[in-house]
Amino acid sequence: MTNITDKQLNARPTGKDKWLSEVAIWGHGSLSARITASGERLFYFRYQSAQGERISLPIGTYGRDSAGGTMTLADARLRAQELASLHKSGHRDIKEYLETVEADRKAALAAARAREEQARVEAEVAAARQAARLNVRQLFDRWAMVDLINRKDGGKEVRRMFEKDVLPYLGPLPIEDVRKRHITEVTDALLARGVNRMAKLIFSLMRQMFRFGVDRDLLEFDPTANIRKVKIGGKDVERDRVLSEEEIRQLARQLPEAGMTLMAEAAIWIALSTCCRIGELLEARWEHVDLDNGRWLIPAPKNKRAHTVYLSDFTIAQFRRVYGMTGSLPWVYPNSAKNGPVCSKTVTKQIGDRQRDPVKGPMSGRSKYCEALRLPSGKWTPHDLRRTGATMMTIMGVLPEVAERCLNHTEENKVKRIYQRYSYEKEMKDAWHLLGDRLQELMTNATTDRVIAKHVIG
């Protein structure tokens, strides 16, 4: 028995099976080849089983070509040596052993494929879950659609604040991932700008938004819940700024030189003489202002109760100044596009710009008259005019109850709200007229002072 050669394997078929065999390997089986009548060339490992049976185990097909061969003669010898080594090591039934090994291999492969499929499915589920997670901007949009839309301005001002100071930081963040540090990053940026009251306001709005999310079962916890509002910019300090009569005279002298429009000047005097909120004035429509009969209806103020203001001659004169410029439009103070009211912060910004620290100077793109409206007792705002008007009323003898009605404050005592239905209409009308007369007197004095001053300087 000699070694098989490639020449033998490539010989033409003889029409019947022909076997070729090599010498046994370590006495534990040998390589054999069979050339079939049809020309197939097959390799076998022949060995004797534990029961003494002669086994011919197929191990491959000769050749590596398009005819379907799987191994060369050298490959077959290596495979035969591997199987002989197994037989020598005690695996007498190699066929059964190999079937077991193959079954284990297939099982392991199937398990690996199952793990890969499970991982793929889990990855797809995780990706779908991630895609379905709401981010802060989406939560804000839902909150705006459900809650903010019911506000008088449809949530316009809150949206403006969030677009500027909240959403650039938190917008893309999934709501479940928002933590206390993210909230304080927003408020700390505001505090660094020196706008402490704005930081508190935006914090309160963020808290409203996240509590909305909790109420709608969109997230499990409110990330603002463990943050104390007092820690955002310190304790709230109730403003009590009231302009003195001397300051009002000084304001009347300074306004014409402050670089403000006539409409903005008139807004200051209307706010002071009616005790209205500046936003109520800037959003007013001419259909609600009756200058002939001296009435201004505020249909939906902050506390959701309609309010009629009885206009003094002083206030009517200021309204007529504005009417001469915007009377042909629906809004008393229209925006530049004339398709809606002006921004409710317009006058507040103009007043603030004219009370800046002279060291800081004017803001870029804003008024150069950065000190034009500074008054002796410190910075003042449009809301301080409302407080000032009510205070002047009480100083001149108006009952506090009437002054509160002029402010359109809701009665805190529930019993009084229910049972005391007297409107105080006459008393309120008298109070507004008394205030208007006093303001007219102060303005006249201021005008006289200005004329005298110019004459002296001249």
What CA–CA distance (Å, rounded) separates 130 from 379? 50
Q: Is 408 exposed, middle or buried (0-12, 13-18, 19+ CB in 10 A)?
A: buried
pLDDT digits (tens, 9 = 90+) for 31-66: 999 999 988 999 999 998 878 888 889 999 998 655
Give the CATH number of domain 6-92. 3.30.160.390
pLDDT score for 27: 79
pLDDT digits (tens, 9 = 90+) for 210-223: 999 999 998 888 99
What CA–CA distance (Å, rounded) separates 374 from 372? 6
CATH architecture, range 136-231: Orthogonal Bundle (1.10)
What global pTM score does this model have? 0.57
Query: Residue 90 has which token pair?
Result: 């005690």
What CA–CA distance (Å, rounded) separates 108 from 112? 6
What CA–CA distance (Å, rounded) separates 265 from 226? 45
What CA–CA distance (Å, rounded) separates 449 from 104? 107
Residue spans of the domains in the chain: they are 6-92, 99-131, 136-231, 245-457
Q: Is 244 exposed, middle or buried (0-12, 13-18, 19+ CB in 10 A)?
A: middle
pLDDT category, 127, cuts 50, 70, 90? low
Q: Which residues of 346-362 are buried (b: 16+ CB within 10 A; e: fewer)?
A: bbbebbbbbbbeeeeee
DSSP alpha helix (H) spans, 17-155: 73-88, 94-132, 136-146
Q: In sequence order, which residues have a C-beta less than 8 Å from that of residue 287 and are 6 or more positions away?
A: 330
Mean pLDDT, the chain, rounded, equals 86
Four-way CATH pick for 245-457: 1.10.443.10, 3.40.50.150, 3.40.50.970, 3.40.50.300: 1.10.443.10
pLDDT score for 162: 96
pLDDT digits (tens, 9 = 90+) for 155-200: 888 999 999 999 999 999 999 999 999 999 999 999 988 888 889 9
Q: Which one has a higher pLDDT value, 131 or 360?
A: 360
